[in-house]
Amino acid sequence: MMAAAGHRVKRIELGWDVSEIAVARLVRDDARPFALIGRWAGGGALIGSEPIRFATDADDPFALLDEHPLVEHRDATAARAPVGGGWVGYLGYGLGRRLEHVSAGPPSPARLPDFALAYYDHVLRRDAQNRWWFEALWSEARAEHLTHRLHVLQERAARPAPPRPFATAPWRRTPGAAGHERAVGACRTRIHAGDLFQANICVRLGSELAGDPLDLFLAGVEALRPDRAAFLSGPWGAVASLSPELFLERRGPRVRSAPSGRDRKSSVVLGRTSMGMISIFERLRLLTCAMPLVLGSALSNGCVDARSAEPSAAMTCRSVSQFDLNFEKS
């Protein structure tokens, strides 16, 4: 454990009438700011900065995620369990090499570390009812600092900071159109030969940013309103993700994944046609079969529950693996 008992989750309602975009700007100049905007933790946003611990290259990131303080009390009045704090960061695909043989990835002009994690003992949280809270893993040792931190954030919220200008240089595409066409042709040939069943063919878009990555991220959030947007920063750089997908969510023994197989426009059209519903079922069947292969080595026997937001598109599979796999139409 990270610490002995003596921590409790403390929630203070802030009464702020400000957007998650404005609140994210409050912490831009702090150490290691992050912003999770969208359907995270059952609410609308989790925003934080000034962590009390950083993961190093020598740490085992999987072990770190199990390190947390013993919490004596949780707020029983909360509609959903408060967050309070914890590890925030990313786990890269390169970590797979610590568990099994994984082939080398494609060359990259700017490769990120395999993982980046920082531990925060307080966050700003916007719940599903659009109420803002200051949540903290409160302890006597940190009480004075957390009280001061609350006052600092309240003072900043009284004078919201404006956005800062940013710009990107002309975007470069790698490979170009001809190279991408050759890759698609090679993939089709291998599928026809039975060497491949499914493949992702990617194009790298590159540019240079003039300005703060946070402003780029917030402009994307405002324009696209993705289900799960995430911004992380550190000495290694920054990550600005505008994803509509839930890759993996774990709550105790339950694991949930909600991949997106369609864009928003096509999902509306498909939902109104019988052929579209067949396509949805085929997508669910493919993912329901694939996910146990990915997670089966780490999970015990149980069931998969694949659902859509519409009852007519629901489907349940039993006796596969122990996790709930809920697919929701976005």
CATH value at residue 229 = 3.60.120.10
Q: Which domain holds residue 200?
A: 171-206
Same-domain check for residues 149 and 265? no
Total of domains in the chain = 3
- What's the confidence (pLDDT) of residue 297? 53
Same-domain check for residues 197 and 268? no
- What's the confidence (pLDDT) of residue 326? 44
Give percent above pLDDT 90 in the chain. 48
Same-domain check for residues 224 and 129? yes
Same-domain check for residues 88 and 16? yes
Please write the tens of the pLDDT for every residue from 224-278.
Answer: 998 899 999 999 999 999 987 777 777 767 777 776 644 443 333 323 333 333 3
Same-domain check for residues 38 and 131? yes
User: Residue 284 falls within a domain, yes or no?
Assistant: yes
Same-domain check for residues 93 and 139? yes
Q: Show which of 243, 261, 288 is a domain's final residue.
A: 243
- What's the confidence (pLDDT) of residue 268? 30
Please write the tens of the pLDDT for every residue from 82-117.
Answer: 889 999 999 988 888 888 887 777 777 778 899 999
Query: Hey, CA dihedral for 42, 48, 54, 55, is it positive or negative?
Result: positive
Same-domain check for residues 198 and 302? no
- Compute CA 22 distance to the chain's CA centroid, rounded to the nearest angstrom: 20
φ, ψ at 195 (rounded to 5°) = -80, -25
- What's the confidence (pLDDT) of residue 77? 43
| Residue among 176, 243, 168, 178 nearest 208 (CA) | 168
Same-domain check for residues 73 and 93? yes
Tell me whether residue 296 is exposed, middle or buried, using C-beta atoms within 10 angstroms of its C-beta: 0 to 12, 13 to 18, 19 or more.
middle
Work out the average pLDDT over 284-302.
52
Same-domain check for residues 45 and 160? yes
φ, ψ at 96 (rounded to 5°) = -60, -25
- What's the confidence (pLDDT) of residue 299? 57
Same-domain check for residues 83 and 220? yes
Q: Show which of 156, 189, 206 is a domain's final residue.
A: 206
Same-domain check for residues 23 and 160? yes
22 within 8 A of 160, measured Cβ to Cβ: yes
User: Residue 278 falls within a domain, yes or no?
Assistant: yes
Give percent above pLDDT 70 in the chain. 73
User: Residue 312 falls within a domain, yes or no?
Assistant: yes
Please write the tens of the pLDDT for every residue from 124-143.
Answer: 999 989 999 999 999 989 99
Specify which of 147-151, 263-267, 311-315 reaches the highest per-range mean pLDDT: 147-151
Please write the tens of the pLDDT for every residue from 19-45.
Answer: 999 999 999 999 999 999 998 888 889
Q: 226-264: b or e for each residue (b if 16 or more CB lie within 10 Å)?
A: bbbbbbbbbeeebbbebebebeeeeeeeebbbbbbbbee
Residue 44 burial (CB count, 10 A): 20
User: Residue 325 falls within a domain, yes or no?
Assistant: no
| Mean pLDDT across the chain | 78
Phi/psi zone of residue 129: left (φ > 0), alpha (ψ -120 to 50 degrees), beta?
A: alpha
Q: Which long-range contacts (CB under 8 A, 24 or more apart) does 270-279 make?
A: 271/310, 271/313, 271/329, 277/312, 277/313
- Higher per-residue confidence, 3 vs 266: 3
Q: Show which of 243, 258, 289 is a domain's final residue.
A: 243
148 within 8 A of 21, measured Cβ to Cβ: no
Collect all residues with Cβ–Cβ distance below 8 Å to 257 and sequence separation of at least 6. 246, 247, 248, 249, 287, 291, 325, 326
pLDDT at residue 301 is higher than 70 = no
Same-domain check for residues 142 and 260? no
**Residue whose tokens read 């990131």:** 61
User: Residue 22 falls within a domain, yes or no?
Assistant: yes
User: Residue 141 falls within a domain, yes or no?
Assistant: yes
- What's the confidence (pLDDT) of residue 247? 78
User: Residue 324 falls within a domain, yes or no?
Assistant: no
User: Residue 49 falls within a domain, yes or no?
Assistant: yes
| Residue among 232, 189, 212 nearest 92 (CA) | 232
